[in-house]
Structure 1
Amino acid sequence: MTVDPQYNEDQDAKRQLDEILKNCTRCQSAEDHRLIIKAFELSMEAHKGVRRRSGELYIMHPLAVARIVGEEIGLGAKGIAAALLHDVVEDTDYTVDDLTAIFGEKIAGIVDGLTKLEGAFDQTKSKQADNFRKLLLTMVEDVRVILIKLADRLHNMRTLDSMPDHKKYKIAGETLFIYAPLAHRLGLYAIKTELEDLSLKYEHPSVYFDISEKLKDYRTRNDQILTRFSLPIIDRLSHEGFEFDIKGRPKSVFSIWNKMQKKSVPFDEIYDLLALRIVFKAKPGIPEKTQCWSIYSLITDVYKPKPDRLRDWVSVPKANGYEALHATFMGPDGKWVEIQIRSERMDEIAERGFAAHWKYKGQQDKDTELDNWLKQIREVLDNPDVDSLEFLDDFKLNLFSAEMMIFTPKGDVKVMPKGATTLDLAFEIHTNIGYKCIGAKVNYKLVPLSHELKSGDQVEILTSEKQTPKYEWLNYVTTAKAKSRIKEAFKKERKAMVQKGEVMLEEALNQKRLTTNAKILKKLQSFYNFPNKEELYYKIGKKIIRWIIFQKY
Structure 2
Amino acid sequence: MTAVTQYFQIEDQVLRYFPEADVGLMRRAYALCARAHRGKPRLPSEPYLEHYLETASLMARLHMDDHTVAACFLHDALDDGALSADALKDHLGEHVAAIIAGVHRVSQFRLEEGKEKQAEDLRKMILAMTRDVRVIFIKLADVLHDARVIHRFSPNDRPALAREAMEIYAPLASRLGIEWMKVELEDRAFEVLHPDAFAQLQTRLQKTEVERRRYIDEVRHILSAKLQESGLKGRVLGRPKHLYSIYRKMVAQHLDLDRIYDLIAFRIITDSVPACYEILALVHATWEPVPGRYKDYIARPKANMYQSLHTTVIGPHQERMEVQIRTEEMDRVANEGIAAHWLYKEGRPLEGVSREETERFSWLRQLLEPEKGWRDPKSFFQNFHLDLYPDEVYVFSPDGDVKVLPRGATPIDFAYAVHTEVGHRCVGARVNGKIVPLRSELSNGDMVEIITAPNHKPSKDWLNFVKSSKARSRIRHWIKTEERDRSIAMGREICEREFRKRGLNFNHYINSPELLEAARQFSLRTVDDLLASVGYKKVSPVQLIGRLPLPEAEEEEFREEKPPEKKKPTKADEGIRVQGVDDVLFRMAKCCNPLPGEPIVGYITRGRGVTIHRLSCKNAGTGDEERRIDVQWDTGEAQTYPVDIKVVYDGDRATVGALSTLLGQLDVTVNDFRIHRTGDGLAHCRFRVEVRDSEHLSRVMTALRNEKNVYEVVRTSE
TM norm structure 2 = 0.51
Q: How far apart are the structure 2 equivalents of 1:56 and 1:394?
A: 34
The amino acid across from 1:543 in the alignment is E
Q: Structure 1 residues 180, 337: closer, same or farther in 2, change over 3 A?
A: same
C-alpha deviation, 1:267, in angstroms = 0.6
| Corresponding residue of 2:299 | 315
Task: Please say if 1:369 is aligned against 2:363.
Answer: yes
Task: Please say if 1:188 is aligned against 2:188.
Answer: no
| Corresponding residue of 2:127 | 136
Task: Please say if 1:79 is aligned against 2:68.
Answer: yes
Q: How far apart are the structure 2 equivalents of 1:200 and 1:271?
A: 21
| Corresponding residue of 1:520 | none
| Corresponding residue of 2:95 | 106
8 A contact 1:27–1:76 mirrored in 2: no
Task: Please say if 1:59 is aligned against 2:49.
Answer: yes
The answer to which of 154-163 and 37-46 deviates more is 37-46
SS at match of 1:327: strand
| Corresponding residue of 1:345 | 329
Task: Please say if 1:305 is aligned against 2:289.
Answer: yes
C-alpha deviation, 1:147, in angstroms = 1.1
Task: Please say if 1:332 is aligned against 2:316.
Answer: yes
Describe the superposition over 1:522-544 as per-residue Cα deviations: whole angstroms up to 9, x where unpaired.
xxxxxxx9641436986558734
SS at match of 1:353: helix
Aligned length: 407
C-alpha deviation, 1:233, in angstroms = 1.5
| Corresponding residue of 1:197 | 187
Q: How far apart are the structure 1 equivalents of 2:119 and 2:313?
A: 46
1:534 to 446, 458, 464: 458
Task: Please say if 1:234 is aligned against 2:224.
Answer: yes
Structure 2: gaps spanning 5 or more residues: 350-357, 368-385, 417-423, 425-452, 462-474, 491-718
Q: How far apart are the structure 1 equivalents of 2:454 and 2:484?
A: 13
Higher helix content, 1 or 2: 1
| Corresponding residue of 1:379 | 391
Q: Structure 1 residues 100, 289: closer, same or farther in 2, change over 3 A?
A: same
Q: Structure 1 residues 387, 340: closer, same or farther in 2, change over 3 A?
A: same
| Corresponding residue of 2:144 | 154
8 A contact 2:287–2:314 mirrored in 1: yes
The amino acid across from 1:87 in the alignment is D
| Corresponding residue of 1:88 | 77
Higher strand content, 1 or 2: 2
C-alpha deviation, 1:53, in angstroms = 2.2
C-alpha deviation, 1:235, in angstroms = 2.1
SS at match of 1:308: coil
Q: Structure 1 residues 26, 371: closer, same or farther in 2, change over 3 A?
A: farther
C-alpha deviation, 1:145, in angstroms = 0.5
C-alpha deviation, 1:332, in angstroms = 2.7
Identity %: 31
8 A contact 2:121–2:402 mirrored in 1: no
Q: Structure 1 residues 93, 54: closer, same or farther in 2, change over 3 A?
A: closer
| Corresponding residue of 2:483 | 543
1:355 to 339, 353, 356: 339
The answer to which of 298-307 and 334-343 deviates more is 298-307
8 A contact 1:40–1:81 mirrored in 2: yes
TM norm structure 1 = 0.65
8 A contact 2:304–2:337 mirrored in 1: yes
The amino acid across from 2:92 in the alignment is F
Q: How far apart are the structure 2 equivalents of 1:211 and 1:157?
A: 20
Q: How far apart are the structure 2 equivalents of 1:387 and 1:69?
A: 30
Q: How far apart are the structure 1 equivalents of 2:83 and 2:408?
A: 44
Task: Please say if 1:279 is aligned against 2:273.
Answer: no
Structure 1: gaps spanning 5 or more residues: 1-10, 283-287, 396-479, 495-500, 502-528
Q: How far apart are the structure 1 equivalents of 2:488 and 2:213?
A: 85
Give the root-mean-square deviation of aligned CA atoms. 3.7
C-alpha deviation, 1:330, in angstroms = 2.3
Q: Structure 1 residues 239, 317: closer, same or farther in 2, change over 3 A?
A: same
Q: How far apart are the structure 2 equivalents of 1:325 and 1:45?
A: 51
C-alpha deviation, 1:378, in angstroms = 2.6
| Corresponding residue of 2:104 | 115
8 A contact 1:225–1:333 mirrored in 2: no
C-alpha deviation, 1:254, in angstroms = 0.6
| Corresponding residue of 1:511 | none
Q: How far apart are the structure 1 equivalents of 2:485 and 2:366?
A: 45
| Corresponding residue of 1:48 | 38
C-alpha deviation, 1:19, in angstroms = 2.5
The amino acid across from 1:532 in the alignment is H
Residue correspondence of structure 1 range 216-235 to structure 2 within 5 A: 216-235=206-225
The answer to which of 347-356 and 296-305 deviates more is 296-305
C-alpha deviation, 1:29, in angstroms = 1.8
SS at match of 1:326: strand
SS at match of 2:60: helix
Q: Structure 1 residues 22, 235: closer, same or farther in 2, change over 3 A?
A: farther
2:253 to 263, 266, 273: 263
